[in-house]
Amino acid sequence: MQKKIFVIHGPNLNMLGIREPAVYGTMTLDEINTSLQELAGKLDVELDFFQSNSEGALIDKIQSAYGTADGIIINPGAYTHYSYAIRDAISSVSLPAIEVHLSDIHSREEFRRISVIKPVCKAQISGLGKDSYLLALREMASKYVK
Ligand code: DQA
């Protein structure tokens, strides 16, 4: 059966295209999702896209992956740096997860260098723009949801 991967985008990622283009580029979230969808077709996996600005909604979505999805690709946005609740949600569902960032969080402000999410993920991919997501999908499909 085709494997299903949740692609979860956190706060302010709905503003891509408008938001700080020098940092995040000019692509919109829809354009990123379209590129992911194209790659998913080639890799023969199904994607389920979700974006929210609210921590609780992100947690509800992660919890809903239990029993329905095979893996999670997540850009938690600023929640990356302090949301123990999102981290616990990822641990709770015991699914392979990959953390993604458009910008290189390690070469920006000090507070962005810390990810409380990374320890519960298989990998963190940061700084490649849209390609961070595409690489995460390739890795997820080839290594974790076979
Ligand atoms: C981000 C990096 C975070 O520090 C920031 O708060 C975001 C976007 C990224 O994709 O580069 O919202 O996750």
Give catalytic status of residue 81 as yes or no.
no
How far CA 7 is from CA of 38, 68, 106, 107, 141, in Å, comes to 14, 13, 22, 25, 13
Q: Which of 9, 101, 133, 144 is catalytic?
A: 101
Nearest CA to ligand 1 atom 6: 78
Question: Model-level pTM greater than 0.95?
Answer: yes
Q: What is the mean pLDDT of residues 96-115?
A: 97
Nearest in space to 126 (alpha carbons), one of 64, 75, 78, 88: 75
Q: Which of 9, 24, 79, 133 is catalytic?
A: 24
Residues 3-49 pLDDT 10s: 999 999 999 999 999 999 999 999 999 999 999 999 999 999 999 99
Residues 127-139 pLDDT 10s: 999 999 999 999 9
The pLDDT of residue 146 is: 75
Q: What is the mean pLDDT of residues 42-61?
A: 98
Within 6 A (CB) of ligand 1 lie: 12, 75, 77-78, 80, 101-103, 105, 112
